[in-house]
Amino acid sequence: MKVYHSSNKDDWETPPALFDQLNKEFKFTLDVAARADNAKCKKFFSPADDALKKTWRGNCFLNPPFSLAAAFVKKAHEEALAGRATTVALLAARTDTKWFHQWVYRSGAEIRFLKGRVKFVGARSAAPFPSMIVIWRKRGRLQRSGRRLARLGVLALAWAWAWTLPYPAARFKPF
């Protein structure tokens, strides 16, 4: 028996307190995986827009459907590498997956593991998995060179550390 999620639902709305804290730091201009009823930015891509085929620009927020995490993570990496977008993603901390190793860890993305479990909007309880914030920053020529060196094992660009969001626990309870 395989159990990946405690619900059949594939996409969950980001808790406002979590988004607000990230937005304070990054000042998002585009939500790349949203619906009209849960978009976190004035400008957003809905499923009908197919964000995976669009060009992302500016500071992007990403909370992808679980089933499309790999495709969105790859796209975020590509847009950062092209120098078009900085993307901040709320993702399940699936460090055992191919997409994590290829498009997060080896890409030089910044990783912030969240303490506790996120309780998404509309969920009866907290997620049954840990979460992380992954940040792909726009790349310049020097960073692209570093990426090539990282592939050769000369330079490790992935940063990871435990991160506790600095907002009052009373406003956001992950449990």
pLDDT at 172 over 60: no
Q: Which domains occur in the chain, in start order?
A: 16-163 (3.40.50)
| 100-136 residue pLDDT tens | 999 999 888 999 988 887 777 776 876 767 889 999 9
Enumerate residues 6+ apart whose C-beta is below 8 A from 85: 30, 56, 57, 58, 59, 60, 76, 79, 136, 138
Residues 6+ apart with CB under 8 A from 139: 80, 81, 82, 83, 147
Q: How confident is the model at residue 155 (pLDDT cuts 50, 70, 90)?
A: very low
Whether the per-residue pLDDT at 12 is higher than 90: the answer is no
Q: Is the Cβ–Cβ distance between 107 and 134 less than 8 Å?
A: no
- pLDDT at position 140 over 70: no
Please state whether beta strands 131-136 and 85-92 pair in parallel, antiparallel, or not at all (unpaired). antiparallel
Following DSSP, what letter does each residue of 100-155 receive, concatenated?
Answer: IIIIIITTT-EEEEESS----BT-SS--SS-EEEEEE----HHHHHHHHHHHTTS-
Residue pLDDT, tens place only, 29-69:
999 999 999 999 999 999 999 999 999 999 999 999 989 99
Please answer whether residues 153 and 30 qualify as being in contact, where contact means their C-beta atoms are separated by less than 8 angstroms.
no
> Does an H or E element contain 69, and which?
helix 69-81
